[in-house]
Structure 1
Amino acid sequence: MSQFASRKGRRIEQLLDEAEGLPVGPEERALLDEAVRLADEAGEEELAYRARMLLTPSAHMAGDTDAMLASFGWCVGKHDADPVRFPVDPGVHVDLLFQYKWMASRLASNSRFPRERVAAIHDDMERRYRESGVGQTGVLQSKHDVALLLGDVEAAGRFVAERDTLERDEYSHCEACVRSSDASFAQLQGDDAEAIRLWEEILEQNLSCGEEPEAAESEILLPLLRAGRFDDALAAHARSYRFARTNPDGFPIIENHLVFCAVTGNLARGLQLLERHIPQLAHDPYHEASHFSGLAAVGVLLDAVVEAGEGGTPVRGSDHPTLEPLLGAADSPRTATQLRDAAWAAAEEIARRFDARNGNGWFARRLAARRALASVRYDVPFGGETFAPAVAAPAEPADALGWVARARMRLFAADAEGVRDAVARGLALSDAAVDPELHKTLVWLSLQNGDPAEAGVHAAARIEALRRVGAHAQAGLEERVGLALLGHGSSDDIPALSEALEAARVAGAEPGVVADLLVTIAALHLDADRPDDAMPLLDEASAILPDDDPQLLRFSLTALRLQALARVGRLEEAAELAAVATDDPRNAGWPLFTELRLRAQLLAQAEAFDEALAVAERLLAESVAIDVSLVIAQSAQLTAMILADLGRHDEAAARLEFALRHAERAEQPTVGLRFSLARLQLDAGHATAALENFETVYLDEKAAGTAPSSLAETALHLGHAARAADEAGMAYRAWSEAVELAEQGEAFALAADAGSQLGELLLQFGDSDALEVLQRALDHAGRADGYASVPVLLHGIGRARLMGGDDAGMADLDRARELATAQEATWYAANVLDTKGRFLVDLGRIDEGVGTLLGAADALAAEGDVMTAVSGEVYAARGLAAAGRAEEAVAILQSARDRVPVGTSPHTGITLELADLLDGLGRQGDAAALRDAVA
C-alpha cells in the first residue's frame, strides 16, 4: 500500500469512528458519505464495506430508502463474492443479517415492486438466517409487516402467531418494536383494549429503541380517545410529539398527531404542526406507503379545518418544492381547502396503484376509514381554551366617502387589488368632493409599492380633482411641493416645507392648506423621533382645522397627535383624544388601529382593565377583519396581556396562541411570544402545553447562541413546566443545565433559584446529592445582592442533613425560621417550624416534637393554611400513638378534625383514624358512633 493510500485509510477510519459516536443526522451522514467516497477512490474495499455497513442503518433511520437499498445491495454482493474479506459482521453495531429485517418492507412500500420480488427477499433472508443458525422470529416479523402492506391481514395474523411460538434471539425485532407493532395490529382488528394493554407494557417496562415509544404513543391516541381516557391521550400526544418533532423522518409519527388534533378539535394546533412539518411529507421519495398515510392524515385534519369555516386559510409550506411530485407545483401557499383536495386526490391515486399491485382493495378501504373520521369528534382541548374570532364581512359602503375608508383599510392590509377596486367603485359614484381623497389613496399605494413615478401620475390626477372642486390653493401647493406633501418626504424636506408653511401663513391661506403643511412637517419630525418638535405643530393644526375638512385631514391628524401626546408624556390628553376618536360614529369603517391600541394601553396603565379589555377586543376584531397577520398578532398579544392582568390566564393563553400563529404566518420572530405563552399556560395549569413551548424556546435560543444567563432563565422555567407535567427526569436535566448556564453568565441569583429547585426535586426522591446541590445554591445566593430566598435554601439544607442522619440540620431549620421571621414571611416561618416538629417526632423526641407541631399548626391556621396545620396535628397524633400515648393522640386528632368542614374527605379520614384509636382504647361505642357519623 502506498504512503498516500495509507494516509487516506487512516483518514477513512477516523471518519468512521467519528460517525459512530454521533446520533443519526446530517453531521453523521456527511461523515459516512465522505468515508465512502474516499474509500472508493483509494480502492480500500474493506473500509468501503465497513462504511456502507454503517451507512445502511443510518439511511434507514433517516428515511433515505434509495441510499439504504443501494448500500445494502453493494454489501450483500461483496459478502457473497468473498465472505472472508467481507464478513457478516465487520465490527459494526448492526450486521448484515440484522439489516435484512428492513429490506422487504421497504420494497413493499413502493407499488412499483411486484409481490414476487418482495417474496424473493424473504426467501433469501430465511435461507441466510437458517444457514447462519439464526432463529426465524425476525423473518416472521418482517413477513407480518409486509403482509399488511400487501393487504393480507389473515397472513399477517398467521405470521404473528408463528413468531410467538419461537424463542427470541439477537436477530429478533426489539421488544419495543414488537409490542408497538402488535398494538397497531390489535387496533386494526378492532381490539382497542389489547392495543392499550400492549402500549402500557411498553411504558411500564420502559421499553425503547430508535422511534419507540413515540411511535407507539402516536398510534395509541385514537384507542385512548375511544376508551374515554382523555388525560392519557393528551399526555401521550404531548410526549410523543415532543420526541418526534426533531426526527428528520418523523412524519409517519407526526401524521397521527394531525389526526388527533382533527378529532379533538385542536385545529389551530394541528395547522401549526402541519405547517412546521409539511416539507417532511415527501422526505423519502421512494416510500409511497408513507406518502399515502401522510396525505390521508393531512386530509383528515383539513376536512375538520374546512368544516370549521377556515377553508380559506393559507397553509404555510404547502408550496414547498419537495411536495411537487405528490401535489403538483404551486406558486404560493395553498389554502386549507386546496391542500385538502390535493391531498385526498394524491392519496387516492397512490391507493389505486397499491391495490392494483396487491390485487385487492386494501388501500381503498384504509382510505375510506380515514375519511370516516370526519364524523368523529372528542372535546379534548390541548393547552386549555382556543380562540377563533367570529368576524362578519364588512358592509358594502353606501357612498364615495365609505369607499375612501374601504380603500384606506385595504391599503393598511397591503391589498393592492382591494385598494384599486375600492377607488374605482368610489370614483364611479362621481362625488367630486371625495374624488381627491380617492386619488390620494392611489398615490399612497404607489409609494407603498416603491413606484414614485406611478405615484406622480396619480398625484397629477388628484391635483386636477382638487381644482374641479375649487381647492386651487391646495392644488397649487401640491404642484409646488410635490410628493413630499403626500407621504414621500424625509427630514431633508422639512426646510422647504417650513418655507412653504410661512408663505401660506403670510398669504392668509385657507386653514386646511396650513394644517396640511403642519401635519406633514410634524409627521417627518415623528419619523425622526422628535416628538417635542412635532407636538406644537400638531396642536396648531388641531386648533385651526375645521371639523368638516373636505380633505379628511383630521383623521390623519388625530392618529399623529395620539402618537405625539403619548411620546411626550401627555397621557391624559392622549387618553381623552383616543376615546373621542374611537367613539366618533363618523370614524366607522376607518382604520382605527393606532387609536384603539393606544386607548387600550392607556386604560390598562390606569388599571381600568375591564374597559381596556373591551377596547382591545374591538381592536382584535378589526385586525382580524382586515386579515393582516402582523397586525392580528400585535392586537391579540395586547388582549392577552390585559386578560393576564385580570387573572384570566386560560383566555390570555388562548389569545397569545392565536397571536403566535399569526406571527409565524407573518414570518416574525416568535421566541418572546412563545415564552410568554408558555408562562401563561403554566399559570393556567396546562403543564404539558407549557413544557412543549418552553422546550421549543430553549432549543431555538440554544441554536441561536443566546447568552448563558438568558438561556438559564428559560431552562429554569422549562424545569418548572416539566415538574408540573410529572416529567421529573426532564426537570432534573433542565434545572441542572440552568445552574451551569447561570454560573457561566455569573447570574448568581438565577443559579441559586435553579439550584433550590433541583435540590428540592432530589429531596423528594431521597437522593443524597440534594445536600451538595443546595449548599452550592447557598453559595450562589451569597454572591447575589439582596437574595431573598435564603430561608428556602436553609430549609432544604436542614431537611437534607436530617434525612442523612445529621442532627446539625436542626440548626439550619432554626436559622431559616429566624430569617423568614425577619423578612415578615410569617407563613414560611410556620412552615419551617412544622418541618422541625416532624423531624423531632421521627427522632423520638416526642414531647418536643408534638409541642413544636402544635405551635406550627396554630400559626399556619392563623395564616389561612388550614390543611398544612391539620396535617401537622395528625403527624403529632400518630407520633404519640406510636409511643403508646393514645389518649393524648385522641385529643389532638379531635382538634384536627374540628378544623376541617364536615363531609369533606379530610374530615372523613381523620374521623375514621380517630375511631381506630378509640377502638384500641376499648371505647368501641364512641368509635362506632364516629363511624356511623361518616357512613
Structure 2
Amino acid sequence: MTTADDIHALFQQIDHTPWGAEERELTARAVAMAVELGDEDLEYRARMRQTSSANQGGDTTLLLSSFAWCLAKHDADPTRFPSDIGNGGADLMWHFKWMASTLRASPEFSTEQIQAVLDDMEAHFRAEGLGLSAVAMARFEDAWGSGRLAEAEERRLVLEATPRDDHSHCDACGRSQLVGYFADTDRDADAIRLVEEMIEGGFGCGEEPEHALARSLLPFLRAGRFADAKRAHLRSYRLARDNADNLGMVATNIVFAAITGNEARALAMVERHVRWLAHDALNVAGHARALRSFGVALDAVTRSGHGTSVVRGADAAELVRFFGEHDGPWTAAELAPIAWAKAAEIGARFDARNSTTAFADVWARDRQVAELRFDVPILSEAFTPEPAALVPQTAAERFTRAIELSDWGDAAGALTALQAALDDNDPKHAADLHGLMVGALLACDRQDDTSPHLAAYAAASRADGHDELAGLIEDLGLTLFGVEGESSVSRMMQAAETAVSPGVRAVTLSGIASAYLRDGKVQDALDMAKLSHEAFVLHGDREDIVDALANIAFYAGIAGDTAAARAAADAGLEMPEASQGQRASLLEIRGRIRGGEGEFVAGAADADEASRLIALIGATWGAARVSVLAGAMYEDAGMPSEAAARYRVTLRQVERDGDDTSAVRFRLARALLSSGNAGEAAELLSAVHEEEAAADAPPASRAETVALLAEAFEVDEQYGNAVGAWGYAADLFEQAESVTGRAHALSMQGRILGQFGETEESVTLLEQAIDLARQEPDNVVLLSRSLHLLAQTLGAVGDERALSVLDETERLAVEHDAPWLLADVTDSRARALGAMGRLDDAIAAALRAADGYDAESDTESAGGAELFAARVLAGSDRLDEAVSIYRSLLARPLAGTPVHQVGALELGNLLTALGRHGEAAEVRAALNE
C-alpha cells in the first residue's frame, strides 16, 4: 500500500534526477501515487514538479493542465498550497512565465485569452509582492512573437528600465531573448555582442547557450564571421538535438546547414528530426518554423543535384497530417513544396489570430534566406556519389551480374541475380548458374534448399558433355562443397586421385580445401588450394585459374603467409580474364597485405578501387568493410582528410544496411579531429557516447569515446567541457578496471586545470595519476608524462617541489635513453627556475634545453627555449645578451612559425628601446617579407 513516506522518498529521487524520460516517469508515478492516496497536499507538490517536467520535455498539454490545477489550489488556499514548495525548483509564479508563450504557440488560443493570462500573471505578481521584471519580459515576448514590432520595441525599453528581481529571466535567458529579437530586426551587431557576453561570462541554464547560439547564426554569417558561425552551430546543435522541445533551435541549425553548402548535413538533420513535428500538438508555431526550415533544406538539396534523395522518416504515419498521403517514400524534391505550403497554411492561421502579417513576413523572409550562400564547409556529413551500378537489361547482362556478385561473395545479392539469370533458361549457362546457386544457398545457411539445384547442376553438366563432373556431383553431392568438414576429405581425396580430367580433379581439390578450412586446418587448406590451382592450369580454363588464385590468396592470408597471398593476388590481378567481382576480392586481399607491410597509401588505393568495382556490380555485402579499410589505411598514412572521406562513405553504407553506426562515426570523428575539425568531431563523439550509454555499452568502450571527446573539446577550446569529460572518462576507466586509462585521464584533467591556475586541484589529480602509473611499471611513458605534468604545474607557480619531481623524470629519461624527453624536462626546469626567481640557473637550463632539442632535430622547440632565455635576459636588463639570443633564434629555419614571428616582434621592440632604430627596422622588414 502506498504511504506518504513512499511519495516523499520518490520526491527525493525526482529532485536528483536530470530532466528526461526517467525523470518524467518518476514524476508521473508520484502524481498517480498521491491521487491513489487521496492526499491533495502531496498531489500539489507532485504536480508542481510535473509542471516543470512538462515544460522541459515539451509536453504542452500536460504543462497547461498541471499549471491550471496548481494555480486553482493555490488561489483557493495559499497557505496550504504555497507558491514555493521548497524543492529548489521553479515556483508557481515562475511557472506563470511559461503560460503566455505556450498559448501563443497555438492558433487555437485567442489573443484575448493570451492577454488575460498576462493580466492574471501581473495581478498575481502584485498580490505576491513580487517585482514586475518577469511580467515586462512576458509582455515584450508576446508583442515580438505576435509581430507587433513597434509595441515590442516599446516593451523592450520598459523591460530594460524595470529593476531585475528573483523572478527575472536569468542572465542567459534574458540575453538570449534579446539576441533573437535583435537578429529578427536586423540588428546583427547587438545580437553578436550579447552572445559574446554570454559565452565570455559563462552564462547558461536549461536551454542556454544553445538557443542564443542558434539565434546568432545568421548575424555571424552576415557579418562574415564564418568560423564563429560554424562553432556556434556545432555547439548549439550538439546541445539541442536530443530534446524534441528544442524543435525551433534545431530548425534554425538546419537552415544554417542548408545555406552554408552543407546540403547533405541538412538532409540528415531533416531526417533525424522530421518526426519531432508530431511530438507536441500545441506547439504549432514550432511546426511552422520547422516546416520552413525543411523547405529551405530540401530546396538546397534539390539544387545541389540530389533531389531524388529519399527523406527517410517523412512517410511515417503520424506525419500524414502535415504532408498528406503519398505513395512510397518522399524525395527531397517532392517534399520541399509540401513543407513550404504547410508552413504558409499554418502561418495564415496565426496571422488571422494576431491581426498581423508576422508569419507571412517570416515565411517570405525565409524564402529570401534560402537564396543566401555562404561557404562554411562541415565535413562530418556529405553526399557520397557512387558509380552507377549495372542494371541488367538482357539475358547476357543478367548472367554477367550473377557471376560478378558470386565472384565477389555477395551471397544474398547473388541469389536474386542467379535466379533472374536462371529464369532466362539459357542451357549454355545452366551448369554454372546452378553450381553457383548451391554455393550461395550454403553461404546463406539454406542447405535444405540446395537439392533441386544440385540435381540440376549435375544434369546440366552432363548435357554439356561433362559426364565425369556430373558423376562426381551425383556421387558426392554437397560433400563436394566441403560442408562436412574433414570427415569428407577421404572420399574427395579418392575422387581426386581417380579423376581423369584435370578440371574435375581441380574442383575436387578445391572442395577438400573448403573442408579443411571449415575444420580450422588453414595450412592444409592452403596446400590443397595450391594443388587445385595447378590442376586448373593444366585444365586451361583461365577464369577458373583466377578463382584458384583468389582461393590461394585468401587461405594464405589467413595462414599468415603474406608473401604467398600477395603473389597470388598480384598474379590474379594481372589476368585480363578476371571478372570485376574477382578483381574486387583480390584487391581487398592485396590492400590488407600492403597495409600490414606499411604500404598504407598503396593499400588504400587498392581498397578504393575495390570499392569502385563493388559499386559497379551493384553489391552491398562487404562494401562498408572495404571502404572502412581504405579509411583506416589513410589514417595510418597520416592523411586524415582522405580517411574522413572514406568513413563518410562507410557511414552511408552502414546506415543503408541498418547496422550500428557507432564504430564508424567514432572513426570519422577521430579522423576529423586529426584533420583540424575538432568541433565536428566533438559533435559526432557526443552522439556516439549517447548511443553507447543508451545501449549500456561496456565501460571500456564508453571510456575510449569520452576520452577522445575530451581531446576534441580541448582542441576546440571548450576547456570546461574538456575537464568534465576527462573526469568522466577517468570514472569509466575505473569501472573498466583500466589503470592505464584512468591514470591518463586524470593526468589530462589535471594538466588543463593547472593551465588555468587551479593548481591545488591539478596537483591532487596528477598525484593520483602518478600513484596509478606506478602500478604499471612497464608503462614508462605514462609515469614520465604524469611526473612531467606535475612538475610543470608546480613549476608554473614557483613551487620548489617541482625540482625533485623533475629529477625523477630526468632519471627516467636517462635510464630509458629518451634524449628528446631529457631536453623537454630541461626546458621545464628552466621555466620552473624562472618562476622561482633563480634567473641565471633558468637561462643556463633553457640554453641546455635548446641544445638538446637541436640534437633531436626539433628546431621549433629549440627556438622556444631560446625565446624563453631571451625574455629572462631582457627582463633582467641584460639587454645586449638578450639581443644575441634573439638573433640566434631568428637565424633558425623557422620563418613563418609563431615562435619566429614573436621573436622578431620582441627583438624589434627591444632594439627600438635601445635606440638602435635601423636594426629594428631591418628585423621588422624581414618579418614582413
Q: TM-score, normalised by structure 2?
A: 0.88
Match of residue 252, structure 1, among 248, 251, 261: 248
Q: What is the deviation of 1:617?
A: 1.0
Q: What is the deviation of 1:735?
A: 2.7
Instruction: Kindly provide the amino acid, as one letter, of the partner of residue 776 in structure 1.
Output: Q
1:234 aligns with 2:230: yes
Contact 1:739–1:751 (CA under 8 A) maintained in structure 2: yes
Name the counterpart of 1:788: 780
Name the counterpart of 1:645: 636
Distance 1:134 1:899 in 2: 68
Instruction: Kindly provide the amino acid, as one letter, of the partner of residue 812 in structure 1.
Output: V
**How is 1:87-486 mapped onto 2 (pairs within 5 angstroms)?**
87-91=82-86, 93-147=89-143, 150-318=146-314, 320=316, 322-327=318-323, 335-337=331-333, 340=336, 343-344=339-340, 346-355=342-351, 357-358=353-354, 362-383=358-379, 388-394=384-390, 400-409=395-404, 424=420, 428=424, 431-438=426-433, 465-466=460-461, 468-475=463-470, 478=473
1:618 aligns with 2:609: yes
Q: What is the deviation of 1:160?
A: 2.9
What RMSD in Å do the two structures reach over aligned CA positions? 3.9
1:772 aligns with 2:764: yes
Per-residue Cα deviation, 1:491-523 (whole angstroms, up to 9, x for no partner): 27x7678647745864x5644444444434533
Q: What is the deviation of 1:435?
A: 3.7
Contact 1:813–1:832 (CA under 8 A) maintained in structure 2: yes
Per-residue Cα deviation, 1:194-234 (whole angstroms, up to 9, x for no partner): 22222222222322221111111122222222222121112
1:833 aligns with 2:826: yes
- 1:433 is paired with a residue whose SS is helix
Contact 1:723–1:731 (CA under 8 A) maintained in structure 2: yes
Name the counterpart of 1:59: 54
1:74 aligns with 2:69: yes
Gap change, CA 1:549 and 1:779, over 3 Å in 2: same
Return 201-210 or 164-173, whichever deviates more: 164-173
Q: What is the deviation of 1:557?
A: 4.5
Q: What is the deviation of 1:61?
A: 0.9
Report sequence identity in percent: 36
Distance 2:409 2:129 in 1: 72
Gap change, CA 1:331 and 1:832, over 3 Å in 2: farther
Per-residue Cα deviation, 1:830-856 (whole angstroms, up to 9, x for no partner): 232233334434444343333333333
**How is 1:689-700 mapped onto 2 (pairs within 5 angstroms)?**
689-700=680-691
Instruction: Kindly provide the amino acid, as one letter, of the partner of residue 50 in structure 1.
Output: R
Per-residue Cα deviation, 1:337-360 (whole angstroms, up to 9, x for no partner): 555566445445534544555566
Contact 1:535–1:565 (CA under 8 A) maintained in structure 2: yes
Q: What is the deviation of 1:55?
A: 0.7
Contact 1:88–1:97 (CA under 8 A) maintained in structure 2: yes
Gap change, CA 1:466 and 1:341, over 3 Å in 2: farther
Contact 1:739–1:754 (CA under 8 A) maintained in structure 2: yes
1:860 aligns with 2:853: yes
Contact 2:415–2:441 (CA under 8 A) maintained in structure 1: no
Contact 2:60–2:282 (CA under 8 A) maintained in structure 1: yes
Instruction: Kindly provide the amino acid, as one letter, of the partner of residue 734 in structure 1.
Output: A
Name the counterpart of 2:599: 608
Instruction: Kindly provide the amino acid, as one letter, of the partner of residue 39 in structure 2.
Output: E
Q: What is the deviation of 1:319?
A: 5.0
Distance 2:355 2:759 in 1: 64
Name the counterpart of 1:86: 81
Instruction: Kindly provide the amino acid, as one letter, of the partner of residue 816 in structure 1.
Output: T
Match of residue 563, structure 1, among 551, 554, 559: 554
Match of residue 840, structure 2, among 847, 860, 864: 847
1:18 aligns with 2:10: no
Match of residue 45, structure 1, among 40, 46, 53: 40
Contact 1:838–1:872 (CA under 8 A) maintained in structure 2: no
Distance 1:390 1:883 in 2: 66
Contact 2:83–2:93 (CA under 8 A) maintained in structure 1: yes
- 1:218 is paired with a residue whose SS is helix
Per-residue Cα deviation, 1:440-484 (whole angstroms, up to 9, x for no partner): 566677778887777655666666654554445545555566666
Q: What is the deviation of 1:524?
A: 4.4
Contact 1:218–1:253 (CA under 8 A) maintained in structure 2: yes
Say how many residue pairs are matched.
924
Distance 1:829 1:793 in 2: 15
Gap change, CA 1:626 and 1:87, over 3 Å in 2: farther
Name the counterpart of 2:31: 36
Q: What is the deviation of 1:724?
A: 1.4
Q: Which runs of 5+ in 2 are unaligned?
A: none
Contact 1:427–1:435 (CA under 8 A) maintained in structure 2: no
Per-residue Cα deviation, 1:880-902 (whole angstroms, up to 9, x for no partner): 44444434444434434444667
Gap change, CA 1:751 and 1:887, over 3 Å in 2: same
Instruction: Kindly provide the amino acid, as one letter, of the partner of residue 768 in structure 2.
Output: R
Per-residue Cα deviation, 1:711-748 (whole angstroms, up to 9, x for no partner): 54444433322221212222222333344444555533
Contact 2:139–2:155 (CA under 8 A) maintained in structure 1: yes
Instruction: Kindly provide the amino acid, as one letter, of the partner of residue 861 in structure 1.
Output: D
Contact 1:400–1:426 (CA under 8 A) maintained in structure 2: no
Gap change, CA 1:836 and 1:558, over 3 Å in 2: closer
Instruction: Kindly provide the amino acid, as one letter, of the partner of residue 70 in structure 2.
Output: C
Per-residue Cα deviation, 1:312-336 (whole angstroms, up to 9, x for no partner): 5455544555545444678986555
Q: What is the deviation of 1:294?
A: 2.1
**How is 1:793-832 mapped onto 2 (pairs within 5 angstroms)?**
793-832=786-825
Contact 1:547–1:554 (CA under 8 A) maintained in structure 2: no
Gap change, CA 1:127 and 1:733, over 3 Å in 2: closer
Contact 2:263–2:382 (CA under 8 A) maintained in structure 1: no
Gap change, CA 1:73 and 1:483, over 3 Å in 2: farther
Per-residue Cα deviation, 1:514-549 (whole angstroms, up to 9, x for no partner): 444443453344344343443344334333336988
Distance 1:786 1:612 in 2: 33
Return 173-182 or 795-804, whichever deviates more: 795-804
Name the counterpart of 1:660: 651
Instruction: Kindly provide the amino acid, as one letter, of the partner of residue 223 in structure 2.
Output: A
Contact 1:250–1:280 (CA under 8 A) maintained in structure 2: no
Contact 1:433–1:550 (CA under 8 A) maintained in structure 2: no
Contact 2:435–2:454 (CA under 8 A) maintained in structure 1: yes
Gap change, CA 1:913 and 1:191, over 3 Å in 2: closer
**How is 1:868-887 mapped onto 2 (pairs within 5 angstroms)?**
868-887=861-880
**How is 1:507-546 mapped onto 2 (pairs within 5 angstroms)?**
508=499, 510-545=501-536
- 2:120 is paired with a residue whose SS is helix
Distance 2:153 2:355 in 1: 19
Distance 2:799 2:743 in 1: 23
- 1:164 is paired with a residue whose SS is helix
Instruction: Kindly provide the amino acid, as one letter, of the partner of residue 171 in structure 1.
Output: H
Distance 1:892 1:417 in 2: 70
Distance 1:780 1:740 in 2: 13
- 2:245 is paired with a residue whose SS is coil
Q: What is the deviation of 1:589?
A: 4.3
Distance 1:797 1:735 in 2: 17
Name the counterpart of 1:721: 712
Q: What is the deviation of 1:820?
A: 1.9
Q: What is the deviation of 1:634?
A: 1.2
1:597 aligns with 2:614: no
Distance 1:504 1:828 in 2: 64
- 1:833 is paired with a residue whose SS is helix
